[in-house]
Structure 1
Amino acid sequence: MKRLWFVFKSILTVIAVMSIICLFWSAAYFITEAIYTRFAWQPHPLVRQIISSIFGFLLFGMTMSAIGPFLRKRERVFWHHLIDAINRIAKGDFRVNLQVDWGGRHHPFAELVTRINDMAANLQAMEDMRQEFISNVSHEIGSPLTSIRGFARALKNENLSQEQRMHYLDIIETECVRLSKLSENLLRLAMLDSERYPLHPTSYRLDTQLQTLILHCEPQWAEKDVDMCAVMEKVSITADEDLLSQVWLNLIHNAIKFTPKGGTITVQVQRRGEQAIVTISDTGPGIPKHDQPRIFERFYKVDKSRHRAAGGSGLGLAIAKQIVDMHHGTISVQSEPGEGATFTVELPIRGPFS
């Protein structure tokens, strides 16, 4: 349909141009004939044709020069708004919304306006994310630094008992570890965001990897008397084993963190067609519905006080999602408040490498 409209419009344009040319050349012919009659001059037909053609060109040019400024006024206004919008974008003001009507959304100028508005909207969204990211990083760094500074100042008190002194030192050490983890996670995210981040795919047993990681985490879930259930099929996968281990550790640690004492964690691995499906379920407090779409955002915390007490920074799930995306997989969550949460990761068996 769009192509037919383009052909129809082109035909109308050609007809209009030919009509204008005929009009001006006809006018030139009648004017020159009137001049020949007035002065009783009868030039050769070739000379008549040359004179009429030259006079037609002059007449056309003078007419276009006279009405051109009026026809181009709208175009000048358009370019003025366009250049102003580009200058604002170049200076960092992305709240640009050009409103120029060119009589149809398929007009080149209308399409240009649409593209610039879309670009400005995308840049504004990225700027908002950057500002939020800087704010979150500043907050996450500022909180432990404030604690370290406060307890370091308290240690200057010579009247402190040895027990109090050791308690303050333990808090300082904990906050330093928290800062170190935050730094490592930020560096890892920066590396994963790089398009040149190298993937090292190998073929390995996914069920064996998860069994090994569950055993490594045994001190944590055994300390809380958590019942760890593993239901695993033999599934081989081609992927970056080291990167995926970070995904499983983040999900398992979160399950352990939020599962109450005596609760249950279930890790399941199965193959469905050409997909490997990993589900990690817990019997924790669950995640509210309105929070679920945002839990994979960087620094987003469902319960800020609970995360702070547990030492989280809100980056673990963002890292997990980034790694899963790099493997062309998906990660999702299903949860009801008070009924625990189930995280599901789907990965292609052969990955994007074959």
Structure 2
Amino acid sequence: MTDVLIVGSGPTGLTLACDLALRGVSVRVLDGRPGPHRESRGKGLNPDGLEVFARLGVEERMAATGNRRLVLRKYFDGVHVSDTPADGGVLIGQWQVEEILRERLAGLGVRVEYGTRVTGLAQDPTGVTARLADGGSVRAGYAAGCDGGHSTTRELLGIPFEGYTEEKPTMVVGDVRAPGLGRDHWHQWFTSEGGGILLCPMPGTETFQLQSAPETDGDGEPLPPTLEGFQRLFDRYAGIPGIRLTEATWLSSWRVNVRRAARMREGRILLAGDAAHVHPFAGGLGMNTGIQDAAALARTLATALADPAPADALDAYEAERLPVAERLLADTSARHRRVLAAVREPGRGTEAGMG
């Protein structure tokens, strides 16, 4: 029987798997997707996340892959008005973080089992049984749901996801190429009429992560993201002749979600990362908080596996991390409001959500 079954192989699940494997705990990592993605998604590691990765032996690789010297270049109504260094972290695409963690995990003898979807969970006093879509099952001492904001684990456990979701998307995001646009800065165009577009160069690639207010139709309803729509938004807000966006490899809409799980533990099954809490992106805390959840959960599970009466050890995880989630939702909501106000002032940008 495996000691710990981990559902989900994003940064949270992979961090947990590496940490446990380094402690000599046997793990299996299941993911319903057919394989790894190459989407930038969460794109920054802060000092707290890097501290965890230092213990796992991957901090230097993360830093070498990413960029520590990012400069935010701000434009207002088409005019360059200021540059602001963004120090203290590492700009790196989420897919790159996951790739480095997968390689570290493989070096510890564990590989992600893609195409393996969990459809049921049952537990008893000695362990957890996960039923799989192919009719098989996996038995483990404990299980961790690290499977994102739409967590199947959380839904199977019937744990409420408390909070709210705004009805309309407030942003479109994606990965694009922009030949001819300088890659030494995170470009941020804002206007006095409101709205704007941001293009952030992703290290080690030819792509930019694009973020923008969405296009709207004649009734003011947000339109889904498309490459053609990205180009229209770029022309509207940046207005640089000759720059044509190409190769949109990721297209997505983002809406404000402020939610947390009512509890982070159900018996021998625990939640971490976006499965336990989702919040505004301001400050870049999402991926980093999931990484910290994983570090705390690894300590908890290692203690529980060595403890003949593990209930107190398991309770300690929720006691530590649920208040963190509460503060995170309030903090990131306040940061988001600061950013929305700041970008209406010339020379200010996403740095208003930092610190």
- Which protein, 1 or 2, shows the higher relative CO under an 8 Å CA cutoff with sep ≥ 6? 2
TM-score, scaled relative to structure 2: 0.19
Over alpha carbons, which structure has the higher Rg? 1
User: Is the strand fraction higher in 1 or 2?
Assistant: 2
TM-score, scaled relative to structure 1: 0.19
